[in-house]
């Protein structure tokens, strides 16, 4: 008897998008996300409205948020459904990539998260968005990737505070001071997609390294 060939299972890239704004959501999916993920043929791109299996939509979405190897979330429009799904994903120790249309302000709770700003006015903007998404996908799929989102940060901070040495507490106080200064910069209206992109693009794991990098960026902004 001939041996039956097995079809390899695909990994899933689940896309979180706003409900009711399908034109923009479809544009991001079809012109940026799907073309980029073609470079990763082991991944199947899936969005909630494209799930063909019968069943409860909310249960299916939650299961995909839990099981998908990668999630890409569009924050454009500050859609409540999208942020609900993002919150669920942040509870799962798996990677999520945030994207938002240029000209849209990042909400406070996810402002520290590295975010890709995209636009579709010029071909160069589409190319840049694909390149940035490619860099993010490569980073989060790397074996050495360290998960970092508001939930893991909060839990990590709690554990840090419980076991912090006096030297650790000095670093923690410095980080709090930097966060206050960042908020002040935003309140003065000096933040922009370019500034936010540079401030959220830090790729350091050590709290001390983050402290030094943030200080350097703050000093650079203060000089303008």
Per-residue pLDDT of 7-38, as tens digits, reads 457 899 999 987 665 777 888 899 999 999 99
Average pLDDT across the chain, whole number: 75
Domains and CATH numbers, the chain: 11-141 (3.40.50.450), 164-222 (no CATH)
Where is pLDDT greater, at 129 or 217? 129
Task: Collect all residues with Cβ–Cβ distance below 8 Å to 83 and sequence separation of at least 6.
Answer: 75, 107
pLDDT at 80 over 80: yes
Crossing angle of helices 166-187/150-163, nearest 10°? 150
How distant is the alpha carbon of residue 71 from its chain centre?
8
pLDDT at 71 over 60: yes
The CA-based angle 77-91-67, given to 5 degrees, is: 90
Which pLDDT value is given to residue 7?
42
Q: What is the pLDDT of residues 145-181, one digit of tens each?
A: 877 776 766 655 555 556 667 766 676 677 667 666 7
Which pLDDT value is given to residue 158?
53
Which pLDDT value is given to residue 129?
93
User: Is 148:139 a contact under the CB 8 Å cutoff?
Assistant: no
Task: Collect all residues with Cβ–Cβ distance below 8 Å to 125 and sequence separation of at least 6.
Answer: 102, 118, 119
Q: What is the DSSP string of 169-181?
A: HHHHHHHHHHHHH
Where is pLDDT greater, at 21 or 2? 21
Task: Provide the percentage of residues in the chain whose pLDDT is more than 90.
Answer: 28
Q: What is the pLDDT of residues 179-223, one digit of tens each?
A: 667 666 655 654 455 554 544 444 444 454 555 555 555 556 555
User: Is 118:58 a contact under the CB 8 Å cutoff?
Assistant: no
Task: Collect all residues with Cβ–Cβ distance below 8 Å to 100 and sequence separation of at least 6.
Answer: 74, 75, 76, 106, 115, 116, 117, 118
Q: How confident is the model at residue 54 (pLDDT cuts 50, 70, 90)?
A: low
């Amino acid at each position: 008897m001939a041996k039956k060939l097995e079809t390899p299972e695909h990994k899933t890239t689940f896309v979180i998008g706003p409900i009711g704004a399908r034109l923009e959501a479809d544009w991001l999916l079809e012109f940026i996300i799907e073309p980029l993920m073609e470079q990763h043929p082991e991944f199947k791109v899936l969005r909630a409205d494209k799930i063909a299996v019968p069943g409860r939509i909310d249960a299916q979405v939650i299961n995909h948020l839990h099981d998908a190897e990668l999630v890409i979330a569009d924050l454009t429009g500050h859609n409540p459904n999208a942020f609900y799904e993002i919150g669920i994903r942040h509870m799962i120790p798996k990677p999520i990539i945030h994207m938002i249309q240029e000209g849209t302000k990042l909400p406070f709770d996810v402002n520290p998260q590295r975010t890709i700003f995209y636009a579709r006015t010029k071909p160069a903007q589409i190319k840049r968005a694909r390149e940035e998404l490619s860099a993010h996908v490569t980073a989060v799929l790397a074996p050495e990737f360290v998960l970092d989102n508001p939930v893991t940060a909060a839990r990590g901070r709690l554990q840090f505070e419980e076991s912090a040495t006096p030297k650790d507490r000095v670093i923690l106080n410095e980080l709090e001071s930097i966060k206050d200064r960042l908020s002040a910069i935003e309140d003065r209206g000096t933040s922009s997609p370019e500034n936010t992109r540079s401030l959220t693009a830090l790729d350091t794991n050590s709290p001390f390294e983050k402290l030094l990098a943030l200080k350097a960026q703050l000093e650079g902004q203060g000089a303008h």
